[in-house]
Structure 1
Amino acid sequence: MSPRPRPVRATPATCPCGLPSAYDDCCGRLHRGETRASTAEQLMRSRFSAFAVHDEAYLLRSWHPTTRPPGIDFDPGLRWVCLDILGGTEGGPFSTAGTVEFRAHYTERGRPGELRENSRFVRHDYAWVYLDGNISK
């Protein structure tokens, strides 16, 4: 019996993170491991895109090992549609920690919603990773 082909995940033409670039040239490069995020905001954007395209491997890889869940349960009725960066602290190329406040817009079974969070990021093994966040309404 021949091996079963891996399913090919469709990728959006424009990047879900909100920057005016094609997904393959923007967050897709981080998801494929071709480069690493140089700032906490870039990691935040790439993680939003990973949720949008259901890239579990990238999400887990970019999560701090002390707070990382064993897996991601993607809700098939939830679609991430837009990201607004509201602010942040530190998190630059030479920082070791930072925060990013964002609002993520989604639809859940056709109904619009939003998630607002102030996320904390740190450097771990020389790479930016998501540590945790405070969700607000």
Structure 2
Amino acid sequence: MNRELSFIIIDDSELDCYVTQKFLQRANQNLIIKTFNDAQEALELIRENNNFDVVPPTIILLDLQMPVMSGFKFVEEFEKIPAEIQKKYVIIVLTVLSSSNDPKDIYKILTFKTVKSLVEKPLTLEKLASLLKHVPPAGNK
């Protein structure tokens, strides 16, 4: 992975944030990575950060099942942000797929225009390479 990218990891599990961050750092030590255990805090950062021309494309790795603000609510609120801000981000849902998941939830999250893909935890090099196909090159606005 030699593209200039940044990541925002949003997951209520500190362990999952840590594991994903360490994996990404091993794939590329020069990545900019921010982690949040609260989706609302991440949303506020995105809304308040107005210096978008210097921020490389940012991949949001989003957990669906979180107690304060779910991944669904995060995406609903994210899609209310102006389009010129939205296009600087790519939302990838990073979740545990199991028989306890409601298939309707998986379908529902993929119907949002800003959600580009769903990836099963844990992240691997193969999954990372696949999800990077959904990220436009730097400079594409």
TM-score by length of 1: 0.30
Bigger strand fraction: 1
Q: Which has the higher contact order (CA 8 A, sep 6+)?
A: 2
TM-score by length of 2: 0.30
